[in-house]
C-alpha cells in the first residue's frame, strides 16, 4: 500500500490529517529552533544549543528530522517492527519519552506508541506541514521533546479510531530493560 520512500508516510499522514485536527484544536506547538531559543518562541527549553552545537551531535539525517521537522523514510527505523522491553529517549537530550509497554507494532513502517511518558512531550499544530495540498488550512498534531524541542513525529488516528504517536525512530535512542 505504501512505497519505500517518504511518499508512503505522506499518503498516510494526508489520510489522517483531518482526524488529527479534530483531536487538538487551538494548540500551539513549541517549535524546534535551530538556534538557542529565540526570544519570540514563547517557550524556554531546558536544553538549548546553537545550530552548530546541534549539527556537531546529530547526523545530517537526525538534524533534518529533529531540528527541521523532517520525516524518515518508510521502514527505515529498526524500531518499527521490534518489541523488546526497554525505554526510548530523545537523541537530542536523552530524556525518556516512551516505554516499550506503550509500543504498538502497526504494519505501516513507522514507530508507534499509545502514550508518551508523563511530562516528556509537547504537542502542537503543524499547520505548515508539506503533506497538505488543499486550499483550506489543515494541520497535524506534532510531537516535540519537552526538554529540547526536537521534532519527534505526529499523533494520528490510525485504525478503528485509535490515536497513536507516530514517531521517527531516527529521533530515538533505545535502552533495553535490565535483566
**In contact, 36 and 65? CB cutoff 8 Å:** no
Per the CB < 8 A criterion, the answer to whether 154 and 13 are in contact is yes
166 tagged catalytic: yes
**Burial group, residue 55, by CB count within 10 angstroms (0-12, 13-18, 19+):** middle
45 vs 36, 124, 126, CA distance in Å? 9, 15, 19
Residue of 93, 145, 148, 166 marked active site: 166
Active-site positions read: 166
Amino acid at each position: 500500500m505504501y512505497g519505500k520512500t517518504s511518499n508512503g508516510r505522506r499518503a498516510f499522514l494526508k489520510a489522517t490529517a483531518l482526524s488529527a485536527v479534530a483531536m487538538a484544536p487551538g494548540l500551539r506547538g513549541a517549535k524546534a529552533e535551530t538556534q538557542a531559543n529565540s526570544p519570540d518562541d514563547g517557550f524556554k527549553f531546558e536544553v538549548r544549543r546553537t545550530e552548530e552545537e546541534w549539527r556537531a551531535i546529530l547526523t545530517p539525517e537526525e538534524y533534518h528530522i529533529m531540528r527541521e521537522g523532517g520525516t524518515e523514510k518508510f521502514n527505515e527505523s529498526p524500531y518499527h517492527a521490534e518489541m523488546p522491553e526497554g525505554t526510548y529517549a530523545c537523541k537530542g537530550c536523552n530524556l525518556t519519552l516512551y516505554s516499550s509497554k506503550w509500543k504498538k507494532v502497526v504494519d505501516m513502517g513507522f514507530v508507534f506508541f499509545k502514550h508518551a511518558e508523563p511530562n516528556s512531550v509537547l504537542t502542537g499544530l503543524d499547520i505548515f506541514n508539506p503533506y497538505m495540498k488543499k486550499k483550506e488550512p489543515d494541520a497535524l498534531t506534532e510531537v516535540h521533546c519537552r526538554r529540547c524541542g526536537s521534532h519527534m513525529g505526529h499523533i494520528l488516528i490510525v485504525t478503528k479510531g485509535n490515536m497513536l504517536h507516530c514517531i521517527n525512530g531516527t529521533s530515538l535512542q533505545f535502552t533495553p530493560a535490565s535483566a
